[in-house]
Amino acid sequence: MYKFLAHECGIYLPPYDNVTVWHLRDLASGRKKKILGTEVKHIMVPQYEGLSIAHLLKFGNNFDSVKNSLPEVEKETLKFPRQYIANVIHTRVGQGFAKWVDDQVKARHAKIVDTKNMAIELDPEIAAIFKASTAVSSKYLFYRGLPSFSTS
């Protein structure tokens, strides 16, 4: 059944060792909504406090489209890799999920800066030089927790 649904039907599935026959049955019968492999929206969700599988599922359970794509029994869902769960939620919810993840990452970064006293103050003149400098990565941005560089 797994090979048929994955290869012949093109359905996005968790790894073979993690999926149950009951979830496969629900997908094959139409009781659960399938996601085609070509429809999957991948997202990288860091392993931070507030972004555990339990937190992801708590967010996802606010949406019928997510609930209709995952097993009824949470014990079955907890066997799935967190990446699969995150991709299912992102595919079904879209930018709302990506924004929620970004907000969780920003909150975590702010908490770390506060608790570890990592913020520094700069003289306004030095700060301006720092921002204009090409010797340092002053255009360094965080987007979804991944470092990237601005092209401007």
Spans of all domains in the chain: 42-108
**Over pLDDT 90: what percentage of the chain?**
64
Does the pLDDT of residue 57 top 70, yes or no?
yes
Give the Cα separation of 116 and 101 in Å (integer).
22
pLDDT tier, 55 (very low <50, low <70, confident <90, very high otherwise)? very high
Average pLDDT over residues 113-123: 71
pLDDT tier, 138 (very low <50, low <70, confident <90, very high otherwise)? very low
Full-model pTM: 0.74
Torsion, Cα of 111, 41, 23, 8 (10° steps): -160
